[in-house]
């Protein structure tokens, strides 16, 4: 787990696609938080996005780290099922 606070920003315009994919695949917001917190992470070289794999799905997101506030800000982009 992170030792920093994790804030998932669901209000960002890019998150609409991720929310639709979650709804279609039956994945809850808690499962997204679990994937971001404890899932195995891979950095996508072409886009610079992070993919967190957990159970049967993965979350692709953009991450900003603010060390002064001790905060990880997450902007989900899409949800994949494998």
Query: CA-CA distances (angstroms) from residue 13 to 35, 75, 77?
Result: 21, 9, 10
Q: Which domain holds residue 72?
A: 5-81
State the Cα–Cα distance between residues 18 and 34, nearest whole angstrom.
15
Q: C-alpha angle with apex 31: 16 to 64, nearest 5 degrees?
A: 60
30-72 pLDDT, tens digit per residue, is 999 889 888 999 999 999 999 999 999 999 999 988 888 888 8
Residue 75 pLDDT grade (very low, low, confident, very high; cuts 50, 70, 90): very high
Based on the number of CB atoms within 10 Å of its own CB, is 65 exposed (0-12), middle (13-18) or buried (19 or more)?
A: exposed
**What is the model's pLDDT at position 61?**
94
Could you give the number of structural domains in the chain? 1
* pTM summary value: 0.83
Residue 74's CATH number: 3.30.2310
State the Cα–Cα distance between residues 11 and 81, nearest whole angstrom.
23
């Amino acid at each position: 787990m992170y030792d920093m606070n994790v804030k998932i920003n669901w209000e960002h315009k890019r998150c609409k696609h991720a929310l639709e994919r979650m709804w279609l695949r039956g994945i809850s917001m808690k499962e997204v938080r679990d994937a971001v917190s404890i899932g195995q992470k891979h950095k996508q070289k072409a886009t610079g996005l992070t993919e967190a794999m957990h159970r049967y799905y993965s979350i692709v997101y953009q991450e900003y780290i603010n060390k002064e506030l001790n905060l990880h800000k997450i902007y989900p982009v899409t949800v994949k099922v494998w």
